[in-house]
Amino acid sequence: MTRKYFGTDGIRGRVGSGSITPEFIMKLGWAAGRVLSKQGHGTVLVGKDTRISGYMFESALEAGLSAAGIDIGLLGPMPTPAVAYLTRTFHAQAGIVISASHNAFYDNGIKFFSADGTKLEDDVELAIEAEIDKPMTTVDSLKLGKASRINDAAGRYIEFCKSTVPMRMDLEGIRIVVDCAHGATYHIAPRVFEELGAEVISIGVEPDGLNINENCGSTKPEALQASVVELSADVGIALDGDGDRLIMVDAEGNLVDGDQILYVIAMSRLLDEQLDGSVVGTVMSNLGLEHALEKQGIGFRRSKVGDRHVMNMLRESDWSLGGESSGHIICLDRTSTGDGIVAALQVLYAMVSSEKALDQLLTGLTLYPQTLINIPLDVPFDHDESEMVKAAMHTAEQQLGDTGRILLRASGTEPLIRVMVEGRDADLVQKQADLLADAVREATLSHSAQSA
């Protein structure tokens, strides 16, 4: 069924517009509380990242949940995967995260976790949407929900992160630069690596409500790259605003993306005989990763874009490792959702156990050149119905042959058509991407003119 409010990863948008207003968020809290109250009385945990609007939406959620008769446990600034973990360990009915992930401070959003620490099932989201459209009511005063602060949440999560690697692992002698994007991991990630013995230099750990993800973190890693080289660090770790995304940097300052991180973890698991089944990527995962894993006898399957789809494929097949090029890495044998800190620890374990630098662990993986071009849309456009686009795709596929691939898809969060071309020959990839993008632009302009 079509959702009215929920997108692929909760509800997200510009603060003050659409669904991202105090009024709507209070109603959302009430609607979620109404659905959860049918399962019995319990507590919902609420965490947030560091953007300034988080205070406002935390209060709005608290009011809505209380009005529905649900108790609230307030976690304060807390990474998204930490909320998933704490929801399980506190036996809460659900967890809610107030965050817009890697977006700028003027955006915000709401994500939900089930009692198992996983994304809500579709039927629960649809039930919440049905309640949102009803008039808001308040339970009797005797049944109002109570709110309390959970003061030891950070410490609990730090200990959990450390437990995802063997107790014998010692990071002594390893210098790490950690970029927390002025986000939810600022008070957690450095401590995790320090307590495991590493020398940690922290950047992006001074949130002011407005600087989250600003020229830092996993989407803007240039400052981290420079710091790793300048400080002669062994490795750099870049997290995003809510801590569920990871990009790394090797000792030479080279970026290590999600596909490369997946390869390192998969190979480490293979050597330890701990790899359960195939690895799951997405349709955007680099073809070089697929070929490198297959060469090692490791199966590789692709899901739709989005960690939700990666998770679903892993769970359906009872596999444990998957992720996206953007750095969402899921280690289901360690935790229930994508977790940047946990994924970084798995890479550090691979380095320590093999006594190899990060760049050495990437031997055997060659990423193919990949070009991604975003085509803005003025009006909705179905590229699958365009003969012009189909002809351009056919021509590009003939030119690439078996050495590359093409992907056209509509963005799930923005009015864009994404054109992706990859293959062994960089010049051919760029040429075909440009030609295909031109065809899509021409088709969209023609469609816009007809729709006017």
What is the distance between the alpha carbons of residues 8 and 16, in angstroms, rounded to a whole number?
21
Bridge partners (DSSP) listed for residue 195: none
SS (H, E, C) 345-358: HHHHHHHHHHCCCH
| 20-43 core/surface letters (b: 16 or more CB in 10 A; e: else) | bbbebbbbbbbbbbbbbbeeeebb
What is the distance between the alpha carbons of residues 151 and 123, in angstroms, rounded to a whole number?
33
For 421, phi and psi rounded to 5 degrees?
-130, 135
Residues assigned a catalytic role = 101
Q: Which residue is associated with the tokens 């494929």?
A: 313
Q: Strands (DSSP E) along 209-328, which ranges?
A: 235-239, 246-249, 255-256, 279-282, 300-303, 321-323
What is the distance between the alpha carbons of residues 62 and 44, in angstroms, rounded to a whole number?
10
What is the distance between the alpha carbons of residues 437 and 431, in angstroms, rounded to a whole number?
10
**Per-residue DSSP letter, 141:** G
CA angle 83, 46, 80 (to 5 degrees): 30
What is the distance between the alpha carbons of residues 341 and 418, in angstroms, rounded to a whole number?
29
Within 10 A of 137 (CB to CB), how many other CB atoms are there? 9
Q: How many residues does the chain have?
A: 452
Tokens of 239: 């997290």
